[in-house]
Amino acid sequence: MADHSLIKHIALDQDRIDYGAFTLSLIQEARRVGMLNDMDAARIESELLSLLRAQIVKITHGESSSVPESTADELMDGIGYCIDLALKSQATPADGINLLKNRPVEAVYQIGADILNTEAKACVPLLSRVRATRTRTVNEAYRITLDSTLPGLLRAWQSSPFPHDFMVITEYPLACENGTTGIFAVHDRLSSLALENRFCAHFSDGLERLLEQYAHQSRVSPADAYANLFLIALRNLLLNLLLGRGGMELDAQSAAELEQKLLPLQESQRQALIKHAADLLLAQCAFENPKLDDYVRAAAADFADDLNTAGGRLEPFAVLCTKEPEMVLADGETLNDEDFALLADEILICETVEAKIRILHTEVHSLADLVDLLAADCIFEEEYPMVFDSFEPSVQALLLSRMPFEDAEGKIRAQREVEWQLRYASYLNRLPDSRRDAVLRQFHALGS
Amino acid sequence: MSGLMKLLAGDAGLLAGKTTDAILSTNDVASQYGLSLTYEQASELQKVHAQALRGSGRIEIGDSMIDRVILAFCDSPHLTADNYADTIGQLVELFYYMKTDTLEQIPDDELLEKMKDFFDGKCGGSLELLANRELEQMARSIRAYGTDTPPEETAETAAKDAELTDFDTQEDDKWRTIRL
């Protein structure tokens, strides 16, 4: 009779293990190399079935012996997710097989479920900490993520019987996202936010101003800006350190000078410079938090990669301080609805465009009313150029500030299909360059 | 996707449910009403059961419904030795179809009870009336109102319905189409 104990198993072939369907592929591979025999496999299958049955009883309250295939698939995927986690938590795949061989499947499932529950429990105090140390900002994405999305995700997790397909999407972008899923992604986001909050607290004085500048550059409001506060602060701090100074504020001239130095460098040189600046920053800040130090270094390394991708150009990354506005609008009183309607009617029935222009210049005292009248169908198609022409460059610049547009190779293009805006863009494009430039100069001199 | 269902589906025995012998054991009760199944009929019922599950896209774990259908219906005055096996087979098919058609809203026992009441009562033993009239109406009510009996019409609801006559409705097996 053969002594089976002397038979050595062939090692598991790692290439045959699919990490997307870990348990299934591991069982199949273990059977192939003889680490699991037919009896083991039959026991595992039978115990899996018992687990599935228990979950079906749970969701149907014991009132249905059958479920749609899609429901059974989802339940089994949830079971598989927990078992995958338990097996992956072992030191090697062979240890995972030994776990399956020596413990009931339900116990293995429970190991995975416990890993998930531990992670979920750890999220609760972490969320409290993140909210308690929140960065004071007007940014809505940040606020919604902390006050609504993350608490909602934790609630959804607790009520979800199918943890394998748990989607984690937040409004606020993080500096470093590592591609985890499920409750691990929630935990990672919270951990990152805790670190980012700590960093931002160190630079809280200038952060909101920096966000305003970023928003101005991106033509959005600071509340609506899709920006990571930590990242915009870190990048400007690093760039300033490369210029040999501290602080977050960066003016256009300094940025241009720095860019001239960065452009001719090799990628490895740029990486070394950013790394050096990150080390300097960490030394100056002395956070005494190794996790935060690592986070800053990782974000700096990502920044160096992005900078290299852009060939050393700073434009996509640097937040430049805007000059104080040279021209400030002191708007007059806005008409009430009734008076506005009367005025629009009065303009509509004017027999000449000159009469219309006279009313616009004498009766309208606020930019909002002027813009509304331009859109109120009381000025005819052919009259628009003369109306626009009657305004001074400063008023023309103000009108431009009330329409989204792009300046493409010297041509103004309205971004919305609004009649007065399309006609205004067309009017400006027909102006001599010197006059159009004067309007644009005044437009850029306006405060945000 | 864990793919673990494949592992179970690969072993037909695990998901197959009752054996022929288990179905035959219902003869002990059914014989009191002059009904019994032969081995061939029990075996055929097993196939019908498996096909009904496949056809309705369902998975059954644990006790098969065949014996519960048999035990629920064997005292029906409309079952005879001649139509017994065939009728049970059709009732099993109808049962799984209705589970899906009622959006999983009715527990097994309640559905069986209703099927039995309709079959013995309003349908007079007609499977066609059971499937196409009574159960269909019940399923429609569950889909529309969330309950197996439509709300009773009162003067108030009739007036409201009268206001809403500007559309045509059409129904087929699965969908209710409303044209405004």
3-state secondary structure of B59: strand
Q: Which residues of A touch B (CB under 8 A)?
A: 20-21, 23-25, 27, 42, 45-46, 48-49, 52-53, 56, 60-61, 63-70, 72-73, 76-77, 79-81, 83-84, 164
CB atoms within 10 A of CB A16: 12
CB atoms within 10 A of CB B120: 17
pLDDT tens digits, B95-111: 999 999 999 999 999 99
pLDDT of residue A5: 44
Query: By the 8 A CB rule, do A289 and A198 touch?
Result: yes
Instruction: Identify whether A128 is part of a domain.
Output: no
Interchain proximity B109–A42, CB inside 8 Å: no
Instruction: Identify whether A322 is part of a domain.
Output: no
pLDDT of residue A315: 84
pTM of the full structure: 0.67
Instruction: Identify whether A316 is part of a domain.
Output: no
Pair of tokens at residue A196? 């980012």
pLDDT of residue A4: 47
Q: A155 and A274, same structural domain? A: yes
Q: A294 and A152, same structural domain? A: yes
In which element (H, E) is residue B150 found? none
Q: A260 and A158, same structural domain? A: yes
pLDDT band per the 50, 70, 90 thresholds, residue B79: very high
Shortest Cα distance, chain B CAs vs residue A360, angstroms: 48
Q: A100 and A228, same structural domain? A: no
Q: Which residue has the higher pLDDT, A296 or B10?
A: A296
CB-based burial, A112-148: b 16+ in 10 Å, e otherwise = bbebbeebbeebeebbebbeeebbebebbbbbebbee
Give chain A's length: 448
Q: Which residue has the higher pLDDT, B180 or B137?
A: B137
Q: Among A45, A49, A66, whose Cβ lies nearest the Cβ of B53?
A: A66
Shortest Cα distance, chain B CAs vs residue A70, angstroms: 8
Instruction: Identify whether A162 is part of a domain.
Output: yes
CA A401, CA B137: separation in Å to the nearest integer? 63
Q: Which residue has the higher pLDDT, B175 or A407?
A: A407
pLDDT of residue A447: 54
Q: Among A21, A60, A63, whose Cβ lies nearest the Cβ of B3?
A: A21
Mean pLDDT (chain B, rounded): 84
Q: A114, A141, A172 — which closes off a domain?
A: A114
Query: By the 8 A CB rule, do B35 and B76 touch?
Result: no
Q: Give the nearest chain A residue to B103 (CA atoms).
A: A68
Is residue B66 exposed (0-12), middle (13-18) or buried (19+ Cβ within 10 Å)? buried
Q: A180 and A91, same structural domain? A: no
Q: A173 and A70, same structural domain? A: no
Q: Give the nearest chain A residue to B10 (CA atoms).
A: A45
Interchain proximity B63–A72, CB inside 8 Å: no
CA A56, CA A67: separation in Å to the nearest integer? 8
Instruction: Identify whether A388 is part of a domain.
Output: yes
Instruction: Identify whether A95 is part of a domain.
Output: yes
Q: A309, A326, A349 — which closes off a domain?
A: A309
Question: Minimal CA–CA distance to A259: which of A239, A245, A236?
Answer: A239
Instruction: Identify whether A204 is part of a domain.
Output: yes
Q: A250 and A390, same structural domain? A: no
Interchain proximity A67–B15, CB inside 8 Å: no
Domain count, chain A: 3
CA B94, CA B128: separation in Å to the nearest integer? 10
For helices A69-88 and A38-60, the axis angle rounded to 10 degrees is 120
- Residue A193 amino acid letter: L
Q: A54, A86, A114 — which closes off a domain?
A: A114
Q: Where are the domains of chain B?
A: 14-150
Q: A287 and A350, same structural domain? A: no
Q: A232 and A97, same structural domain? A: no
Q: A181 and A97, same structural domain? A: no
Instruction: Identify whether A290 is part of a domain.
Output: yes
pLDDT of residue A15: 86
- Residue A1 amino acid letter: M
- Sign, CA torsion A144/A146/A148/A153: positive
Q: Give the nearest chain A residue to B97 (CA atoms).
A: A68
> Distance between terminal CA atoms of chain B?
42
Query: By the 8 A CB rule, do B48 and B95 touch?
Result: no
Q: A297 and A227, same structural domain? A: yes
**Alpha-helical runs (H) found in A245-352:** 252-262, 267-285, 290-309, 337-349
- Per CB-CB distance under 8 Å, the chain A contacts of B101 are none
Q: A357 and A253, same structural domain? A: no
Query: Is the pLDDT confidence value at B22 over 60?
Result: yes
Question: Minimal CA–CA distance to B114: which of B73, B65, B56?
Answer: B73
Cα Rg of chain A, angstroms: 32
CA A350, CA B40: separation in Å to the nearest integer? 97
Interchain proximity B8–A76, CB inside 8 Å: yes
A236: Cα within 13 Å, side-chain hemisphere: 24
CA A131, CA A428: separation in Å to the nearest integer? 49
pLDDT of residue A289: 93
Q: What is the ipTM of this complex?
A: 0.79
Mean pLDDT by 10 residues, chain A (448 residues): 48 83 90 90 91 89 90 90 92 92 94 91 95 95 95 84 78 84 92 96 91 86 92 95 92 92 93 95 93 96 94 89 63 85 91 90 88 90 91 88 80 87 91 86 71
CA A396, CA A377: separation in Å to the nearest integer? 20
> A403 is in which domain, residue-wise?
337-445
